[in-house]
Structure formats: structure tokens, C-alpha cells
Amino acid sequence: MLLGSGGREDALAWRLSQSPSCGRLVAAPGNPGIARWAECVEVEPCDAAAVVSLAIKEQVELVVIGPEAPLTAGVADALRGAGIAVFGPSAAAAQIEGSKGFTKDLCARHGIPTAAYVRTAAAKDALAALDRFALPVVIKADGLAAGKGVTIAMTRAEAAAAIEAAGDSPLVIEEFLEGEEASLFALCDGEHTLALASAQDHKRVGEGDSGPNTGGMGAYSPAPVLTAELEERAMAEIVRPTARAMAAAGTPFNGVLYAGLMLTKDGPKLIEYNARFGDPECEAIMPRITGDFAEMLALVAAGRIEEVGAIELEEASTMTVIIAAQGYPGTPKTGGAIGQLDDAEADGAIVFHAGTREEGGKLVASGGRVLAVTAAGETLREARDAAYAAVAKIGFADGFHRTDIGWRELERSGQ
Ligand code: AMP
Ligand code: GLY
């Protein structure tokens, strides 16, 4: 059973349903895309009691939790309490995403490379702490902020304004790290870890990475800036010590650790962790996974990651382009008709559904990010061309997309 209803979950459902060990897939609540691969049931993923009853009724052997909200709501704990296997961390372990302070303190205790920081409880402490940092300085809300809680202040006045705007809520003040960003996804069974894949997303709504932050307007995998050598360094210095530290703290992490890394001149440093797959990074990663993905996740859930063996990835390169509804990331215009998805998929691309619903037998937009158009290629350029060829075939008058996903990497590699 899969919990969630976005593009990430459509990609997970697609991959899980192709797994030889997955006889039947139930999704709660799912969406019209997920309904291609799973039986969708109208159950709210954060309602722990309802999720447990559904899992028992459907006699599911494994629950895979997609989004962070059910994790922080303790749905994994409730399922485990009922004796049901779960891929996804406990609420206590999900703090690694929910509380920046928790994660920074964990890094400090275990010597895990990250930006120097102080946690502050009130505005006056934060203002006092500012003097200890060079410019630019980073000011973060110490809680789940949906990507909106970060200010990179270029001047002391800007930093002070961000602190004052936060009122007396807890903050993390942080050293600014310089370098390229990359994301590393690693499976973790409570003790041991296995690197799955790297990816890179584009968070800004506008061309050239301009404008307001979004959940992500596109992604590609792998992120070549994270070379094999740097990936192994990130696993050895960041991910593996984190898994050990979480176990030692009595909050073992079971699920996927999504490490946001800055590749600095002193090596990879942790920017933040998420306790789940990235969206749209997941849509780019899933086509690269080979083998029995459902069994892989079941082994992780059972604490037997050593039986997964080596992870072999196919597809040299993949790209996902998000088509969003006009207005996103503000108030999106929902209800717009969507068509020609079969045409878009005719040449091998996959169109995952991120925010769609059926209305009178027709597909319409129901959210900000609507479709996640994904294609593979021998090079990033090929993946890009295939993804955009598919985007061009889709009929969605109320939608928009960025035309430059992958630009940094394409430029760097001269493609
Ligand atoms: P976060 O919500 O912690 O992922 O931060 C959002 C974005 O802000 C990151 O993806 C980075 O681009 C940037 N950022 C966060 N912390 C730092 C830092 N210490 N130095 C430089 N950039 C940062
Ligand atoms: N794409 C960013 C995230 O999933 O948090």
C-alpha cells in the first residue's frame, strides 16, 4: 500500500507495480495517474487509525509512505504498532526533516560536516548571535516551513529584518556555504545505508532560477557534479554517520534519507535532510531503478538492507519537467482541461500525475504542480529533448513550465 497523491507517489506506484514481488497495490488516496497502477481508496494518509484499518482490511504486506505529513503525524509508528511493515521513519526520526535544530545538533555531536550555526529562542538572542557570522548569513525558521523559511541575507540590515519578521520563533543562524548543490538519496534500514541515486531539482518558478520558491519545477538524475568519489565521501562522512547517530539516539531512521548537499571546496557539507523522496526528484529517479523495487523497500523496512545487494541503475540520464497551473506557487488556477497525454507518452516518455482529478470523465488540474513529464536518454541533452518533446504534445491551456530545466549541467558539460 502506498500513501500519498502527488507526482512522487505516481512514480513510486509505477515502479512498485512493476515489481515481481508486488501482487497488488493499494493507494490511499492516490490520483488518476496512480489509478493506472493501483486500486485507489479514499483514505486520508494522515489519519493513522484509518490507514491502519485499511492496511488490515487489505491485508497489505508493506506500506510505503510518500509525503512527509503522515510521517510527522506518526502514521509509521501506528502501523508498526499494529505489526505492519512500513517503509518510512517514525515521527521521532522524521524530526531530521521537521526540526532543523534537531539535525544541526545531531551533526555537531557527531562531527558531521555542515554549516556552522547557532540556535536561538528569541529575536534578541538571534540579533546578538549575528555578530559571530560573516556575510552573507543564512537565517532559517526551526521548523517545517515548506521551503519558505530560509533567508540568505547579504547585509546585516537584511539579516536583522529577517529576524524581526520571525518574531520570537526559534531560529537557526547559519554560515553561508559556497558551492554547487546536489541531492543524494540513500535507503536506510535503521542502522545501515545504501546510496540509491543522486539528483538535482530547480526550486525557483522562473527561467534561469528566478522568482519565488516552489516545491520544484523540474529535476534530473544523476547530478554529475556529485562524482562517484564525492558520493562515497558524502556517504562516509555524512549519511552513514547520520544513520549510526540516529540509532544511537534511540530514533533509528527507516526509509529514504534525502541529503541536500553543498559541494564546497572542503568537500560535501550537509545543508538539510528530508525524511522522504524529493518531488520531482523521485519522478526522475524511478525510471533508473532496476530489479524488484518493492522487495528492496520491504527488505529495508525489515531491517535487512544487506540483502538488497548492489543497486544497479539504468538509463544514463533522466529528466522531469513539471507543468504547473497558472498562478503557482501562489493560488493556482485549478479545473483546466488536460489532454493528449497518450500522444505525449507515445515515444517512451512518462507523464506522472502530480495534481489532477477526474471531472465528468475528463482530466482536469487540481493543484499547483499538475504533471511531471519524464524521459530518459543516453545523455542529459537527449533526456531533455525527449522530455520537452513530450511536454509540447500535451494540451493544457492553463498550464506553464520552465523551458530551461538542467541548464546549469547542460552548460557545464557543453551539451
Ligand atoms: P533548506 O530549506 O535548508 O533546504 O534551504 C533552502 C535553500 O537555501 C537550499 O537549497 C540552499 O540553496 C540555500 N541554503 C540553505 N542553507 C544554506 C547555507 N548554509 N549556505 C548556502 N545556501 C544555503
Ligand atoms: N524537490 C524538493 C523537495 O522535495 O523537497
pTM across the whole model: 0.96
The CATH superfamily assigned to 317-413 is: Phosphoribosylglycinamide synthetase, C-terminal domain (3.90.600.10)
Mean pLDDT over 76-98 rounds to 97
pLDDT of residue 146: 47
pLDDT at residue 145 in the model: 54
pLDDT of residue 148: 54
CB 270 near ligand 1, within 6 Å: no
Q: What is the pLDDT of residue 150?
A: 87
| pLDDT tens-digit map of 399-413 | 999 999 999 999 999
Question: CATH topology of 116-175 equal to that of 179-307?
Answer: no
Q: Which ligand is nearest to the CA of 203?
A: 2
Q: Which of these ranges, 7-21, 116-130, 367-381, has the smallest mean pLDDT?
A: 116-130
Express each pLDDT in 259-271 by its tens digit.
Answer: 999 999 999 999 9
pLDDT at 168: 83
Pocket of ligand 2, beta carbon within 6 A: 201, 215-216, 274, 278-279, 281
Across the range 38-51, mean pLDDT stands at 98
Place of cell 487509525: 49
- Residue owning the nearest CA to atom 5 of ligand 2: 278
Average of per-residue pLDDT across 71-93: 98
Q: How confident is the model at residue 321 (pLDDT cuts 50, 70, 90)?
A: very high
Kindly report the protein residue whose alpha carbon is nearest to atom 12 of ligand 1: 181
Domain 2-87 has CATH 3.50.50.60: no
* Stronger pLDDT, 219 or 314, i.e. the higher one: 219
Q: Which CATH superfamily is domain 179-307 in?
A: ATP-grasp fold, B domain (3.30.470.20)
CA of 369 to the centre of ligand 2 (A): 12
Domains of the chain, residue spans: 2-87, 116-175, 179-307, 317-413
Ligand minimally distant from the alpha carbon of residue 172:
1
Q: What is the pLDDT of residues 143-168, one digit of tens each?
A: 655 445 789 999 999 999 999 998 88
116-175 fold: Dna Ligase; domain 1 (3.30.1490)
Residues 110-134: pLDDT tens digits?
A: 999 999 999 999 889 999 999 999 9
Lowest mean pLDDT among 17-26, 121-130, 217-226: 121-130
Q: Whose CA is nearest to atom 7 of ligand 1?
A: 150
Q: Is the pLDDT of residue 82 over 60?
A: yes
From the CA of 175, the nearest ligand is 1
Is the pLDDT at 228 greater than 70? The verdict is: yes
Per-residue pLDDT at 100: 87
Share of the chain above pLDDT 90, in %: 93
